[in-house]
């Protein structure tokens, strides 16, 4: 039967094709890395950022006789990409993680303590060491860190004849005076995600809140009540529960907010326009004389364990060079973040007077994971639940914190 | 099936049976690799302590019902279940009614009807995340177009807190999802309408049936198979909603728009507790499975072979 013959041939081809696809799929996994190449997994997907990173890498790698290859994925995918790479034993030589993700990776035992790969971490600020540490061991180095500050519209403040507020009382009054027509006195982000939590922390911590024991003391409730008061008083928009930090910046730039809480990553956007004149001040504190305690943020470079110790050492050499005073200073200026070496930070402060408040703030800033370690994602979630339910009037600050503690304490 | 023929034992029948299996083999392999394996893995995972450590060490110790207990004890699961249900029912109801109304409207073919129909397809073409970003601006409480419009026509004076109030946000998300889903419903139903023989309407008209009666007695019954397809496909894509909610509200305010989709995302990819994430994923699969079985039993006639066109 000719028909059946034709059919057979075609099916044989199909089976052959399927087998070939499977074979190539499996073979694609094994790629032998070049011994003189150091691979880096980071989130520099933006072309300019990618090139700037490459610049700094090359500057350090060439004298060492090395080459650097970056693999960049969007920031929120770095962790899951790294996990997938780890499961196929193909993790890069350097893994650049967000500081808040470090504990979960360090806990796996898959990272090498940085002193074991020859990175000398002397003169780093305490808060940046905390950002790169888990259980008392440092696994990651931050070249520079960011934090949050009060950014204000100088023109609107001058018109109203007020100074940037330094205490909560002053913030209340100043924000009220600046509120008129379409303009709110103040804006912050209160989204139920990392953005909102990051912005809540300076209020929570400055008031004495403790993320490990949410119901302890009055700090937490005071911070929640203060946020609620600003929104209820009409000096902050009710929409903040839905504004991420980008939205807050947009509001500020369109003149609908006279002051905002935001970080130095907005500087390029702020610099690129000339509608709004802006300046930076420290975050107001509950009472005069107290230190503001904002969160410290940024990425840390870690060295995953590798059977080939030489590769680890190469990664270590590269890290040491990237964290020299000169390189840290240049990198900090490139990304508007504060270098973590005290000496470099001091020079950064002098050379960038406009961003100097950030340099001061990181000195008293804290790492989100310092106290709660791997539990941070759960605790952060619980905090987000607390301020969202208070701001939307679903519960009182005290009840919200009790619920949050139950949620945070539930798991392990 | 030609099982009877095979049994006739004609020369070479064994070979023919082999060929038949070879034909089926790619499909079976495909199903096993891309549906069977993930399904089994997901069920297993929900009984394991599956954390970042697992990726490094390859070890995922079984921890009995611990993941299930943790997820089921969380009051958020109940809320997410309820909100997923409201979201699904609300979205389907809105998408289907409006889609059907538009399909009937356009089936009358008038000047420019083709052009307008094409324009109505636009929401379908726009990536969902882009739609969400645009809608976030439209629904802004103070400067959004929607509230300005409502104020202009005098329907609301102080602005509806579309996305910033826990009691309104879920309705807003449903509204946007209805807008996104209308084109799909319209296109499929329009196709179904075009297949209804013209003679039936002519006969009805001769018998003196009005438009309303014609719709209920002819259009809707004739459209039944298409309607079930639209609703089933709609259910499948709506119940697992994730991207729209993430981009519009992130599950807030105060968890009022959390769905099973956002919950499993949060557990797996933000807390990196893949075991607990798998539990919620399994609940989602279970809901879909129950629905699919019920649907297949009730409507075998509509989709199965033998009956229908």
Ordered alpha helix ranges (H), B107-257:
113-120, 122-125, 128-138, 145-152, 169-194, 198-206, 211-214, 220-239, 243-248
Phi and psi angles of residue A381, each rounded to the nearest 5 degrees, phi first: -60, -45
**A388/B254 CB distance under 8 A:** yes
Q: Residue B179 belongs to a domain with what CATH number?
A: 1.10.3720.10
Chain A nearest-CA residue for B29: A18
Q: Compare CB distances from B19 to A8, A84, A104 and report the shortest one's residue.
A: A8
Measure B112 CA to nearest chain A CA, in Å: 40
Q: Compare CB distances from B269 to A80, A237, A240 and report the shortest one's residue.
A: A80
Q: What percent of chain A shows pLDDT beyond 90?
A: 85
**Spatial separation of the C-alpha atoms in residues A333 and A339, rounded to whole Å:** 9
Quick check: A302 and A322 in contact, CB under 8 A?
no
Quick check: A69 and A39 in contact, CB under 8 A?
yes
Reported pTM: 0.87
Measured CA to CA in angstroms, residue B248 lies from A47, A231, A382, A393 at distances of 28, 21, 21, 21
**Spatial separation of the C-alpha atoms in residues B95 and B187, rounded to whole Å:** 12
**B55/A15 CB distance under 8 A:** no
| Beta strands A137-138 and A295-296, pairing class | unpaired
| CB atoms near residue B3 (< 10 Å) | 6
Asked if pLDDT for residue B180 goes beyond 50, the answer is yes
Chain B nearest-CA residue for A108: B53
Asked if pLDDT for residue A3 goes beyond 70, the answer is no
Partner A contacted by B62 (CB < 8 A): no
Residue B20 lies in a domain: no
Domains in chain A and their CATH numbers?
A: 37-145+297-367 (3.40.190.10), 149-293+372-410 (3.40.190.10)
Chain B nearest-CA residue for A194: B270
Among A239, A304, A385, A412, most B C-beta atoms within 10 A, so best to mutate, is: A239
Joined tokens for residue A120? 């000398």
Q: What is the mean pLDDT of residues A372-390?
A: 94
Q: What is the mean pLDDT of residues A16-31?
A: 47
pLDDT band at B203 (very low <50, low <70, confident <90, very high): very high
Measure B97 CA to nearest chain A CA, in Å: 30
Task: Report the candidate in B226, B244, B243 with the shortest Cα–Cα distance to residue B179.
Answer: B244
Residue B234 lies in a domain: yes
Chain B nearest-CA residue for A107: B53
Chain A nearest-CA residue for B268: A80
Asked if pLDDT for residue B307 goes beyond 90, the answer is no
Task: Report the candidate in A125, A163, A174, A200 with the shortest Cα–Cα distance to residue A361.
Answer: A125
Measured CA to CA in angstroms, residue A161 lies from A172, A234, A266, A303 at distances of 15, 20, 26, 52
Among A10, A11, A193, A379, most B C-beta atoms within 10 A, so best to mutate, is: A11
Partner B contacted by A373 (CB < 8 A): no
Give CA angle at A217 (A211, A221), nearest 5°: 75
* pLDDT at residue B122, as a whole number: 86
Q: What is the mean pLDDT of residues A215-241?
A: 95
Range of weakest confidence among A63-67, A177-181, A391-395, A405-409: A405-409
Measure A64 CA to nearest chain B CA, in Å: 30
**Spatial separation of the C-alpha atoms in residues A131 and A375, rounded to whole Å:** 15
Asked if pLDDT for residue B114 goes beyond 50, the answer is yes
**A108/B249 CB distance under 8 A:** no
**Spatial separation of the C-alpha atoms in residues A244 and A185, rounded to whole Å:** 18
Residue B210 lies in a domain: yes
**B266/A381 CB distance under 8 A:** yes
Partner A contacted by B243 (CB < 8 A): no
* pLDDT at residue A354, as a whole number: 94
* pLDDT at residue B301, as a whole number: 58
Give CA angle at B169 (B165, B174), nearest 5°: 165
Burial class (CB in 10 A: 0-12, 13-18, 19+), B109: exposed
Q: What is the mean pLDDT of residues A44-54?
A: 93
- For B272: left if phi > 0, alpha if psi spans -120 to 50, otherwise beta; the answer is left
Partner B contacted by A192 (CB < 8 A): yes
* pLDDT at residue B295, as a whole number: 78
Measure A114 CA to nearest chain B CA, in Å: 19
Among A104, A242, A254, A400, most B C-beta atoms within 10 A, so best to mutate, is: A242
Residue B242 lies in a domain: yes
* pLDDT at residue A165, as a whole number: 97
Measure A83 CA to nearest chain B CA, in Å: 6
* pLDDT at residue B308, as a whole number: 41
Task: Report the candidate in A166, A115, A167 with the shortest Cα–Cα distance to residue A140.
Answer: A115
Residues of chain B contacting A104 with CB distance shorter than 8 Å = 51-52, 272
Measure A330 CA to nearest chain B CA, in Å: 33
Joined tokens for residue A251? 């509001």
**Spatial separation of the C-alpha atoms in residues A22 and A29, rounded to whole Å:** 12
When the pLDDT of each residue in chain A is averaged and rounded to a whole number, the result is: 90
Quick check: B207 and B118 in contact, CB under 8 A?
no
* pLDDT at residue B188, as a whole number: 93
> What total of structural domains would you count in chain B?
1
Partner B contacted by A290 (CB < 8 A): no
**B252/A242 CB distance under 8 A:** yes
Partner B contacted by A238 (CB < 8 A): yes
Joined tokens for residue B232? 């089933």
Residue B58 lies in a domain: no
DSSP-derived 3-state class of residue A366: strand
Residues of chain A contacting B52 with CB distance shorter than 8 Å = 79, 83, 104-105, 107-108
Q: Which domain holds residue B99?
A: 74-272
Residues of chain B contacting A384 with CB distance shorter than 8 Å = 252
């Amino acid at each position: 039967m000719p028909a059946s013959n034709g059919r057979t041939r075609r099916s044989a081809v199909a089976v052959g094709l399927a087998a070939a696809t499977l074979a190539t799929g499996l073979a694609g996994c094994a790629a032998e890395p070049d011994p003189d190449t150091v691979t880096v997994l980071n989130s520099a997907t933006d072309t300019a950022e990618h090139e700037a990173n490459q610049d700094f890498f090359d500057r350090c790698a060439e004298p060492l006789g090395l080459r650097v290859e970056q693999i960049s994925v969007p920031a929120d995918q770095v962790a899951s990409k790294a996990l997938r790479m780890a499961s196929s034993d193909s993790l890069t030589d350097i893994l650049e993680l967000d500081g808040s993700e470090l504990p979960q990776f360090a806990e796996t035992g898959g990272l090498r303590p940085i002193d074991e790969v020859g990175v000398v971490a002397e003169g780093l600020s305490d808060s940046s060491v905390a950002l790169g540490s888990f259980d008392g061991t440092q696994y990651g180095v931050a070249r520079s860190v960011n934090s949050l500050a009060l950014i204000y519209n100088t023109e609107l403040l001058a018109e109203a004849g007020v100074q940037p507020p330094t205490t909560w009382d002053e913030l209340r009054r100043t924000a009220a005076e600046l509120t008129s027509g379409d303009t709110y006195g103040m804006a912050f982000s209160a989204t139920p995600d990392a953005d909102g939590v990051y912005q809540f922390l300076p209020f929570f911590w400055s008031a004495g809140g403790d993320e490990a024991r949410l119901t302890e003391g009055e700090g937490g409730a005071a911070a929640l009540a203060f946020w609620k008061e600003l929104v209820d008083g009409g000096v902050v928009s009710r929409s903040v529960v839905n504004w991420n930090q980008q939205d807050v910046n947009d509001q500020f730039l369109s003149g609908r907010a006279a002051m905002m809480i935001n970080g130095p990553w907005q500087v390029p956007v702020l610099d690129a326009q000339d509608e709004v004149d802006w300046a930076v001040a420290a975050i107001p504190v509950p009472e005069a004389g107290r230190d503001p305690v904002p969160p410290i943020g940024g990425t840390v470079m870690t060295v995953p364990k590798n059977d080939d110790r030489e590769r680890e050492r190469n990664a270590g050499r590269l890290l040491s060079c990237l964290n020299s005073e000169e390189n840290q200073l240049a990198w900090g200026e490139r990304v508007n973040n504060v270098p973590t070496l005290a000496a470099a930070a001091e020079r950064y402060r002098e050379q960038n007077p406009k961003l100097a408040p950030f340099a001061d703030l990181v000195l008293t800033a804290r790492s989100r994971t310092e106290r709660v370690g791997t539990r941070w994602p759960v605790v952060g979630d619980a905090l987000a639940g607390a301020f969202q339910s208070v701001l939307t009037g679903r519960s009182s600050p005290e009840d919200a914190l009790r619920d949050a503690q139950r949620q945070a304490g539930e798991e392990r | 099936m030609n099982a009877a023929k095979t049994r006739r034992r004609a020369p070479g029948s064994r070979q023919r049976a082999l060929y038949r299996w070879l034909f089926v083999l790619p499909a079976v392999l495909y199903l096993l690799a891309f549906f069977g394996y993930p399904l089994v893995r997901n069920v297993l995972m929900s009984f394991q302590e599956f954390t970042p450590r697992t990726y490094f060490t390859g070890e995922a110790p079984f921890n009995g019902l611990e993941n299930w207990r943790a997820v089921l004890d969380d009051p958020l699961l109940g809320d997410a279940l309820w909100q997923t249900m409201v979201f699904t029912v609300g979205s389907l109801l809105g998408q289907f009614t409006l889609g059907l109304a538009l399909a009937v409207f356009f089936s009358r073919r008038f000047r420019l009807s083709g052009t307008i129909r094409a324009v109505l397809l636009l929401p379908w073409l726009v990536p969902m995340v882009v739609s969400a970003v645009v809608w976030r601006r439209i629904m802004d409480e103070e400067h959004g177009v929607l509230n300005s419009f409502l104020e202009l026509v005098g329907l609301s004076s102080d602005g509806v807190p579309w996305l910033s109030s826990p009691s309104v946000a879920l309705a807003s998300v449903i509204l946007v999802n209805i807008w996104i889903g209308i084109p799909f419903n319209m296109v499929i139903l329009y196709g179904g309408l075009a297949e209804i023989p013209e003679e039936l309407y002519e006969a009805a008209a001769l018998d003196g049936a009005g438009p309303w009666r014609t719709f209920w007695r002819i259009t809707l019954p004739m459209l039944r198979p298409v309607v079930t397809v639209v609703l089933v496909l709609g259910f499948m894509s709506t119940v697992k909603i994730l991207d729209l909610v993430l981009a519009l509200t992130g599950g807030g305010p105060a968890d009022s728009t959390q769905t099973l989709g956002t919950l499993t995302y949060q557990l797996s990819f933000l807390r990196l507790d893949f075991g607990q994430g798998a539990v919620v994923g399994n609940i989602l699969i279970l809901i879909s499975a129950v629905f699919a079985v019920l649907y297949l039993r009730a409507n075998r006639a509509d989709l199965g072979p033998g009956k229908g066109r």
